[in-house]
Amino acid sequence: MIRTVEAEPHVSAPVLAAYSYCEAVTGQQARNFAYGIRLLPVSKRRAMSALYAFSRRVDDIGDGSLAPDVKAARLEDTRAMLARVREGAVDEDDTDPVAVALTHAATAFPIPLGGLDELIDGVLMDVRGETYETWDDLKVYCRCVAGAIGRLSLGVFGTEPGARGVERAPEYADTLGLALQLTNILRDVREDAGDGRTYLPADDLAKFGCSAGFSGPTPPEGSDFAGLVHFEVRRARALFAEGYRLLPMLDRRSGACVAAMAGIYRRLLDRIERDPEAVLRGRVSLPGREKAYVAVRGLSGLDARHVTRRAVRRRA
């Protein structure tokens, strides 16, 4: 991919080092996310890496092997670091590169840092072992761990001046986050079960005879596992359709970033729909060449134009 030369404001050496750390974390641990943010200008890419590195730290605490009370204490320590960032109390020579990078990003862009508090709240729900009776219950969790990330990202992307319906941009960003998270939940259903976690709503599991859970490579005996997956896929597709209304409100490269990340997950959803039991046998993923194709499609603006045409047809 050919990169253009971009004029960037001066960034000090300590801050650049902090961003480099965050970009390394992102490149190593967020393959799907990294494909999208490669399409952004340097300053936005760095800011998104800072958001990811903070989020990764929170997730790693929640997913680790520490006792629940220790996890909760470490999450509150992370919340205290976030409070320092919000107050501008992190110096450039601070020993925590994530705090340094996030502080700089929050001064460069109108990032609603409260979304990171929501992320911590969501991971605390994991630590407490919460389960979800209904989709409305699960939406609360998804909005914390993914919808909030959508709204935080929108703070970095910004919106195009004069874009129609722009007041609903945070809502669409939140909804797109829900779509991504529900796709993650379907993809990771076996892995989560192995960790003692159940995210799919209990009433959906009961409806399709899957209340026994997913402890092995085959569905529960007598269940309609394919029916359950297809039901959740339809829900995720509806969320994607709503969330994609954000694309025409973004500049070309921010829209390309969102289209690439969402496009990768939509293709994962296609694979899961074609072979529902694949999620019980292993982790469903896309090859690198397919991710690259999705990124190029996003940069071309095809997805944004498609959404715009559909919106015009609906208004006609």
Residue 257 · residue 32 · CB < 8 Å: no
pLDDT of the residue at 284: 87
Which residue stretches of the chain have pLDDT < 50?
Answer: 1-7, 304, 307-308, 310-316
Which residue is associated with the tokens 């939940």? 185
| Residue 295 confidence (pLDDT) | 65
Are 284 and 272 spatial neighbours (Cβ–Cβ below 8 Å)? yes
Q: Assign residue 287 a region (left: φ > 0; alpha: ψ between -120 and 50; beta: otherwise).
A: beta
The CATH number for 12-109, chosen from 3.30.70.141, 3.40.50.10330, 1.10.600.10, 3.10.20.600, is: 1.10.600.10
pLDDT of residue 33: 76
* pLDDT for the residue numbered 308: 44
CA distance 295 to 316: 31
pLDDT tens readout for residues 209-245: 999 999 889 999 999 999 999 999 999 999 999 999 9
Fold match between 12-109 and 130-315? yes
Q: Give the single-character DSSP code of 46.
A: H
Residue spans of the domains in the chain: they are 12-109, 130-315
CATH class of 130-315: mainly alpha
By the 8 A CB rule, do 242 and 287 touch? no
